[in-house]
Amino acid sequence: MTEPIEIRGIIEAVSGPTVVATGMRGVKMHTTAYVGNIGLLGEIIRLNGDRATLQVYEDTGGLSTGEEVVCDGLPLTAMLGPGLLTEVFDGIQRPLAEMMTGDDPFIQRGLTITPLDQNRLWTFVPLKKQGDVVETGDIVGTIEETKTITHRLMVPHGRGGVIKDIMRGNVTGSDRVVVFEDGSHMGIFQRWPVRTPRPVKRKLPPELPFITGQRVFDTLLPVAEGGCAIVPGGFGTGKTMVEQAIAKYSRTDIVIYVGCGERGNEITDVLTEFPELMDPETGRPLSERTIIVVNTSNMPVAAREASIFTGITMAEYYRDMGYRVALMADSLSRWAEALREISSRLEEMPGEEGFPPYLGTLLGGFYERAGRTECLGSDSERRIGATTVIAAISPPGGDFSEPVTQASMRFAGTLWALDADLAYRRHYPAVSWETSYSLYYKKLSEWYERDVAPDMVELRGWLMNLLQRESEVREVAQIIGIDALQEADRLILETSQVAREAFLRQSVFVENDAFATFEKQYWMLKVIRAFMDCAEAALKSGSYIDRIIGSPVKSRLLKMQYEKSEGFKDKAMTIIGEIELAFTAEEDR
């Protein structure tokens, strides 16, 4: 990284979170500075001669013209290393627990706190030895960061060579863990500019699904591992519940939750619930593989704007170790509002709805940092890591035509559109299968056919067609009434109801229903398909639709989601047998 070059200036004007300073000739864009007598952290966002405009990451109340501004010439960076997991940071990576001073419940301004504890002892197990040649990205040793995650210590960018000395046992943040023959060294911590993507060997195609355990996502609207999904929805449609369910049940190694501009009570729920959640796979607390970055709606907007970049930088760091990382951003609308406020202070030309014209460019830069990648390093075994982004969006009034949603749709491969009507009917997840889509499904279809079942893609197509036909039949029913429909159309309504209630609806509060394996999802579809096929055969043989609808076997279908995933195939075969027996009896009447 660039060596710090200190430049001092004087505050000329203050307007909200923006400060104009003079005497700043020689400073560079997007470098940090300490503003005023109390040293508020800021970032340079405009240069004009010897004038620099800064966005300040803290409340500027009380600042006065004539106070000093000190620029260190360094970009806004994240500190990376063991100790990130289980921590709660603000948008510029200050640990919230360390910022609580005395009995004052509010965060004091001007606090400069090292994100990671320099004096904490870690047990380092070397994987390299004296004389080994290493390069950027190579793993030189491991540290048990939590009981769940092993931290893989990597050679930082720009370092490497022949190892002259390597430590073993207890180390701290100030130790030279590895010393190279050219005199350079590395410790357990490294820093990285948050607005700069971490490099990789190459990006890999989206060929594997991001497994959530939620049937509507995994079967109908999947997102690829290393892909992007956006979750737009109005107030009360369950965006935060979706992200928390994915954080708990998705098959991922690391979860990073960025609460960007959300209400304080929602962030409080996250901070109180996450430590109590248990990882279903390991039985350990979910917090052992979680990092939380929070900026409530009453915190400075500049720090809110930086928070998603802080989160994605930490995600890339663990991705480079070879882990699968899920980044939950909640919500990008609040981030965009912060961007709009900063832009207005700069008197920039506004775009649609007052957002800056470069909104789409910045969003694209954020989404493009997701991906499944081959990590840097000369290791004989390839390390594959992935960063999957799940971004919630809060469009005003649930209007998906607003700029943030529309800009995000250009970059995200999956849209999980939340529907207020479904949410009010207590249908969870409240995902509209008519509005939502997945651009990854074609790429993932080979995986579904190979790893789930040869006819899984065909079953998914059948379900999508059934839901589409239901929408068409309901439009007709609104005109002529359900009783006037043909019996085949009434059967479509009944089967689609079973599909919606038993398959698409899912409860995270019921243990057996909170997570569904692909085997269970496949056999649930087989059962629903068998119900419709047998019912159609019974209709053709002269049975009445009312008898088919009133068959006791239908209630059996509506309860199958509460069966355990383990051994569900046998239960499904039993249900299919009951369906065939029931409708064969109808045909014989």
User: Within this chain, do residues 384 and 516 fall inside the same structural domain, yes or no?
Assistant: no
The verdict on residue 523 lying in a domain is: yes
* pLDDT score of 504 more than 70: yes
Chain-centre distance for alpha carbon 165: 39
Based on its alpha-carbon atoms, the radius of gyration of the chain, rounded to whole angstroms, reads 28
Give the relative orientation of helices 456-480 and 518-540 as an angle to the nearest 10 degrees.
Answer: 50
Residues 430 and 578 in one domain: no
CATH code where residue 312 lies? 3.40.50.300
Shortest CA distance to 335 belongs to which of 299, 387, 291, 371? 299
Neighbours of 169 (CB within 10 A): 10
For 180-218, the pLDDT digits (tens) are 999 999 999 999 999 999 999 999 999 999 999 999 999
Q: Are 98 and 134 in contact (CB under 8 A)?
A: no
For residue 332, is it within any domain? Answer: yes
Looking at the structure, tell me whether residues 379 and 257 fall in a common domain.
Answer: yes
458 and 369 assigned to the same domain: no
Task: Give the domain CATH number at 48.
Answer: 2.40.30.20
DSSP string, 28-61: -TTEEEEETTTTEEEEEEEEETTEEEEEESS--T
Last residue of a domain, one of 401, 435, 469: 435
Mean pLDDT across 506-520:
90
The CATH number for 161's domain is 2.40.50.100
Please give the full DSSP string across 261-306, using - where no structure is assigned: EE-HHHHHHHHHHGGG-B-TTT-SBGGGGEEEEEEETTS-HHHHHH
For the chain, the domain total comes to 4
* Same domain, yes or no: 402 and 476: no
Q: Are residues 166 and 212 in the same domain?
A: no
What is the C-alpha to C-alpha distance for residues 105 and 102, in angstroms, rounded to an integer? Answer: 8
Residue 471 buriedness (CB in 10 A; 0-12 / 13-18 / 19+)? exposed
**Residue 103: per-residue pLDDT:** 66
Q: What average pLDDT does the chain have?
A: 89
84 inside domain:
no
**pLDDT tier for residue 317 given thresholds of 50, 70 and 90:** very high
Q: Among 112, 160, 172, 97, which residue's Cα sits nearest to residue 134? A: 160
Query: Helix, strand, coil % (nearest 5) of the chain?
Result: 35, 25, 40
Residues 394, 505 within the same domain: no
- Domain extent, residue 124, equals 117-188
Given pLDDT bands bounded at 50, 70 and 90, which one contains residue 380? low
Asked if the structure places residue 418 within a domain, the reply is yes
Same domain, 257 and 349: yes
In a shared domain, residues 17 and 52: yes
Dihedral pair phi/psi, residue 187, rounded to 5°: -115, -160
Reduce the DSSP state of residue 84 to 3 states and report it: coil
pLDDT score at 104: 66
- Amino acid letter, residue 574: T
Query: Is position 94 within any domain?
Result: no
Terminus-to-terminus CA distance in the chain, angstroms?
Answer: 82
**376 shares a domain with 316:** yes
| Confidence at 304, pLDDT banded by 50, 70, 90 | confident
In a domain, 93, yes or no: no
Q: Which residue has the higher pLDDT, 412 or 305?
A: 412
pLDDT of residue 443: 93
525 within domain boundaries: yes
Token code pair at residue 405: 């949603």
Q: Is residue 82 part of a domain?
A: no
Above 70 in pLDDT, residue 587? no
Cβ–Cβ < 8 Å for 95, 113: yes
- Tens digit of each residue's pLDDT (9 = 90 or more) over 212-228: 999 999 999 999 999 99
User: Does residue 509 have a pLDDT over 80?
Assistant: yes
Helix (H, G, I), strand (E, B) or coil at 472: helix
Q: Which residue has the tokens 């959530």?
A: 212
Whether residues 256 and 353 share a domain: the answer is yes
Task: Reply yes or no on whether the pLDDT at 542 is more than 80.
Answer: no
pLDDT of residue 72: 86
Q: Residue 363 pLDDT > 90, yes or no?
A: yes
pLDDT tier, 128 (very low <50, low <70, confident <90, very high otherwise):
very high
Are 214 and 236 contained in the same domain?
yes
pLDDT at 126 over 90: yes
CA distances from 316 to 135, 302, 310 (A): 18, 22, 10
Place of tokens 């997840």: 429
